Structure 1
Amino acid sequence: MIFVLVYCTTGISGGHINPAVTFGLFLARKVTLPRAFMYIVAQCLGAVCGCGLVKAFQKTYYHAYGGGANELAEGYSKGTGLGAEIIGTFVLVYTVFSATDPKRNARDSHVPVLAPLSIGFAVFMVHLATIPITGTGINPARSFGAAVMYRKDKAWDDQWLFWVGPMIGAAIAAYYHQYVLRTGAVKALGSFRSNA
C-alpha cells in the first residue's frame, strides 16, 4: 500500500505521506519550513479522516483491533519502544534518501521509477520487526489519527513515543545521508580524480 500511495502522490507532494520523512527532508534542506509545516498538518488531517472512514465502515473490526492505535506492548520498556521507533524510522527515511538521490550515476537512471517500491519494501521490513513492540509507528500522522479517532486513554499514554522516536530516526538518517555518506563520496571522488 505504501508503494501505491507514494507512487500516486509523488507528482502532487513528492510522495510526502509521513511527517518523519518530511522532517528528515526539511533537515536536509530539500523542503522549506512553510511547506514542511503544511505537509505535516495535511498528513495529520488525512490520517484523522482515514481513521474516521475505517471507524465508520468497519466498526466491528475497528473496535476489535483497538482502532489501530499504536501502543507499547506489555513486557517492553519505553526505552525499547523508543529505540524500535528510532531504528525503524531511520531505515525508512534512509531508504527515501537513497532511493530519491538525484546525484546517482546515469547507469542508475532507472532507480527513480523504482523508488516507491523500495520505500514500500522498507516499510514492510520495519513492520515485520517492530509490530510486536509498538505496533509500528514510524509515521506520527498515522499514530496521531488513530489515537484521535479511538479516543481511549491507552491510545494516548505513549503517544510521545510515536512522535519523538520517528523524528530522532529521521534526523539521524538525514544527517547520515547528507553529511557522512555524501561527504565521504565527495572526498573519495576528489581523491580518485587527483590520482588519475
Structure 2
Amino acid sequence: MPIRNIAVGRPDEAYHPDALKAALAEFFSTLIFVFAGEGSGMAFNKLTDNGSATPAGLVAASLAHGFALFVAVSVGANISGGHVNPAVTFGAFVGGNITLLRGILYWIAQLLGSTVACLLLKFATGGLTTSAFALSSGVGVWNAFVFEIVMTFGLVYTVYATAVDPKKGNIGIIAPIAIGLIVGANILAGGAFDGASMNPAVSFGPALVSWSWENHWVYWAGPLVGGGLAGLVYETFFINSTHEPLASV
C-alpha cells in the first residue's frame, strides 16, 4: 500500500543543495506559470473592458494556462520534477514519491513564486488588480469543492500516468504536453463556475496581493483532496509492487 512508502525525510534534506536547487526550480516554474496565466486574464480585461468572464475570455484563459503550464513543467522536470502545484506535490507525497520535508520546501517555493509573479504583475501594469479566484453566481461552496476535487484528480492522475509511473516508457516525453492539455480542458469545463484553480499556489498569490480571501479554503481543500486521492489510487492500483524507492539526496 502507498501509505507504507510515505517518508518524512532526513533533517539534512531541508538544506541539502539538491533539495534547495529543486525548490528554486519550483519557485521559477511557478512564477512563470502564474505570471502568464494571471497576466493573460489581466490583459484580456484591459483589452475588452472587463470581459474576461465571457466565452472568449474563458478560451483565452484555457490556452494561456495550458501553454504556460507546458513550459513551466518542461523547464522544471529535470530538476524538481516540475510539480508547479502544491496539490501535485501532495499527491506525490501520498504515493510515497517525495518526502514530507522536500514537499514542504516545494510548497514554500510554489507559494513564493505565485506571490512574486502577482506582485510583478501589479507593478508592471501600473497597479491593476490581480483578481482572486471566486465562485460564480449561483455556485455554492460545496459545488466548487466537488469541481476542484474532480478537476485536480484528473490533473494529478495525468501527472502520475505520464511522469511518475516507472512503466511509462517513452510516453514520458509527452508528460508536459498532457499536463498542460488537461489543465486547459478543465478550465473550459470548470472555469465558468469557480475559475478552475486546481492549484492552491495559483489561488494564493492573487488572493494575497489583492487581499481577497472569500471562500479561499475551497481552493486549498478541493485540490489537496483531489490530488491526494489521485496519488493514492494510481499508486495502489497501477504501480503498487513496482514502486521505485525514494531518490536519495
Q: TM-score range by the shorter chain?
A: 0.7 to 0.9
Structure with the bigger percentage of helix: 1
Alpha-carbon distance in structure 2 between the residues aligned to 1:180 and 1:79: 28
Map residues 126-141 of structure 1 onto 2, 5 A cutoff. Answer: 126-141=186-201
Deviation at 1:33, TM superposition (A): 0.6
Q: Which residue of 2 aligns with 1:192?
A: none
Alpha-carbon distance in structure 1 between the residues aligned to 2:209 and 2:177: 30
Long gaps (5+) in structure 1: 187-196
Secondary structure of the 1:73 match is coil
Asked if 1:68 corresponds to 2:131, the answer is yes
Alpha-carbon distance in structure 2 between the residues aligned to 1:102 and 1:174: 11
C-alpha distance after superposition, 1:149-177 (max 9, x if no partner): 012xxx30111000000000011101110
Deviation at 1:12, TM superposition (A): 2.0
- The alignment covers a number of residue pairs equal to 175
Of 91, 98, 118, which aligns to 2:154? 91
Amino acid at match of 2:78: G
Deviation at 1:73, TM superposition (A): 1.1
Q: Which residue of 2 aligns with 1:158?
A: 215
Q: Which residue of 2 aligns with 1:120?
A: 180
Amino acid at match of 2:100: L
Deviation at 1:120, TM superposition (A): 0.5
Of 215, 218, 238, which aligns to 1:181? 238
Percent of aligned positions that are identical: 35
C-alpha distance after superposition, 1:70-129 (max 9, x if no partner): 01111011110000100110010000000014432xxx6321111101000011111111
Query: TM-score normalized by structure 1?
Result: 0.84
Q: Which residue of 2 aligns with 1:189?
A: none
Runs of 4+ in 1 over 6 A off after TM superposition: none
Long gaps (5+) in structure 2: 1-67, 243-249
Larger radius of gyration: 1
Q: Which has the higher contact order (CA 8 A, sep 6+)?
A: 1
Amino acid at match of 1:41: I
Of 145, 150, 168, which aligns to 1:82? 145
Q: CA RMSD in A?
A: 1.6
